[in-house]
Amino acid sequence: MTRPDVLDTLVSLAKRRGFIFQSSEIYGGTGSVWDYGPLGVELKHNVKARWWNAMVRERDDVEGLDAAILMHPRVWEASGHVSGFSDPLVDCKACKARFRADKLGDAACPRKPSKKPGEHADCELTEPRQFNLMFKTFMGPVEESASVVYLRPETAQGIFVNFLNVQQATRQKVPFGIAQIGKAFRNEITPGNFIFRTREFEQMEMQYFVEPGTDMEWFERWKEARLQWHLGLGLDRDRLQFHQHTDTELAHYARAAFDINFDFGGTLGFQEIEGVHNRSDFDLRQHQAFSSKKLEYVDQVQNKRYLPYVIETSVGADRVTLAILVNALREEAVEGEQEGRTVLGFHPALAPIKAGVFPLTKKDGQPEMAERLAAALRKRFPVFYDEAGAIGRRYRRQDEAGTPFGITIDGDSTANDDVTIRFRDDMGQIRVATSQVAEVLTRYLEADHPRADSRLVG
């Protein structure tokens, strides 16, 4: 079954509601670079916080790191990026468009989008040539080859070069891991599909250092753990698949690699959102050779030294955010109403705003009571106060922002000191004492339970 293509709908919803804007839009935009607006920054922040909690805070065998984007240029020689981080590029002499030679099947001929590049009578594709994807710049005031530095194309190398620093500072014993979240830059030949492939993006990477011989066992464990993490975000099970790298896809140093693919729908279909790789001791061995510094781990229990193998989990924060948006988007009819509704049915933990607070009318003390409640709730989570327009409209606006709970203060509220909580997903409602609202919502958020089920009340 091909799922519908919702990217165009999402691009306009994301702009209208302030999730994601095109970078430098007033100047016509920058090629495939995007800015996160007020709701988008919260959503992506929640994704990153969930990853950080799962990978660092909830484990005692993984340490956090925040390495710099600019690194010594030798790092990229050792890692193989200077000589090998390239994609095959083909030009079309007829229309001047450029394509990745290995992704022609996913591209469209600009003259006739129903055809692939090369299929139209006018197409004149050149032979592929290698194009290095690293952005280059200069460190210091002189623009000469000796001062060339690169914007990192992945965060992983910051972890490899700090392997011993972290190990010695924390006294971790192998097996242990180092995790970080940060920006990466790739001068992609054919970026596109909204935030799926961009030239500036964020990665969440973890390198887990293990004793050689135990690597495949750890590889399997991490593969499973990472799939579970994606399921925990609320991504549908049948939209997730493993893809095993074939011999031709596998990097020469890798012992095994699986991608976790998500079904984005439409022609994009299943695409990688995360890679889980067994990188052997390739990276540490290369850095040891290029830096002439010993990077061996000293195993005092077994009285031996070795270069650990590395299991890497590498996931794009932006790509997962796109998967979450695609997975969450629903356009549905509402019984008894002419207009349907658009809902972003986010997992409550990811929702940018947790609750909308709405006085039914602008009189009789309702706005004051609502503002007091909103201020109290803001101490726990992001809240949106809205007194403008019909209540149905206000609910719809929050459905579209993915807000799981709506709290309405009506005529009875001021008399009885209670409010209605309305649930985004089933639109069910419960009545709760004002003093209990914060507790009840926290319980629902912790239970991942955005439905009107009164079992969680009281």
List of residues contacting ligand ATP (CB under 6 A): 154, 186, 188, 197-198, 201, 203, 272-275, 314-316, 318-319
Please identify, using beta-carbon distances, which residue of 50 and 197 lies nearer to ligand ATP.
197
Please identify, using beta-carbon distances, which residue of 117 and 275 lies nearer to ligand ATP.
275
Please identify, using beta-carbon distances, which residue of 36 and 201 lies nearer to ligand ATP.
201
Q: How far is CA 55 from CA 58, 234, 314, 384, in A?
A: 7, 18, 12, 31
Phi, psi of 368 (to 5 degrees): -65, -45
Provide the minimum distance between the beta carbon of 195 and ligand ATP in the complex, in angstroms, as a whole number: 7
Residue whose C-alpha is closest to residue 64's, from 177, 215, 219, 193: 177
Query: Which amino acid would we find at residue 28?
Result: G
For residue 263, the tally of other CB atoms under 10 A from its CB is: 21
Q: Is the CB of residue 352 less than 8 Å from the CB of residue 42?
A: yes
Residue 192 per-residue DSSP state: B
Please identify, using beta-carbon distances, which residue of 98 and 380 lies nearer to ligand ATP.
98
Residue whose C-alpha is closest to residue 19's, from 269, 195, 188: 195
Taking CB atoms, the residue at the shortest distance from ligand ATP is: 316
Residue 54 per-residue DSSP state: I
Provide the minimum distance between the beta carbon of 96 and ligand ATP in the complex, in angstroms, as a whole number: 22
- Ranges of beta strands (E only) in 47-171 are 62-64, 86-91, 98-100, 129-132, 135-138, 148-151
Please identify, using beta-carbon distances, which residue of 172 and 180 lies nearer to ligand ATP.
180
Please identify, using beta-carbon distances, which residue of 198 and 413 lies nearer to ligand ATP.
198
Provide the minimum distance between the beta carbon of 154 and ligand ATP in the complex, in angstroms, as a whole number: 6
Burial of residue 141 (number of CB atoms within 10 Å: 0-12, 13-18, 19+): exposed
Q: Work out the widest C-alpha separation in the chain, in whole angstroms.
A: 78
Sign of CA dihedral 183, 184, 186, 192: negative
Provide the minimum distance between the beta carbon of 335 and ligand ATP in the complex, in angstroms, as a whole number: 39
Provide the minimum distance between the beta carbon of 277 and ligand ATP in the complex, in angstroms, as a whole number: 7
Provide the minimum distance between the beta carbon of 271 and ligand ATP in the complex, in angstroms, as a whole number: 7
Please identify, using beta-carbon distances, which residue of 54 and 452 lies nearer to ligand ATP.
54
Provide the minimum distance between the beta carbon of 33 and ligand ATP in the complex, in angstroms, as a whole number: 10
Strand 355-359 to strand 383-385: parallel, antiparallel, or no bridges (unpaired)? parallel
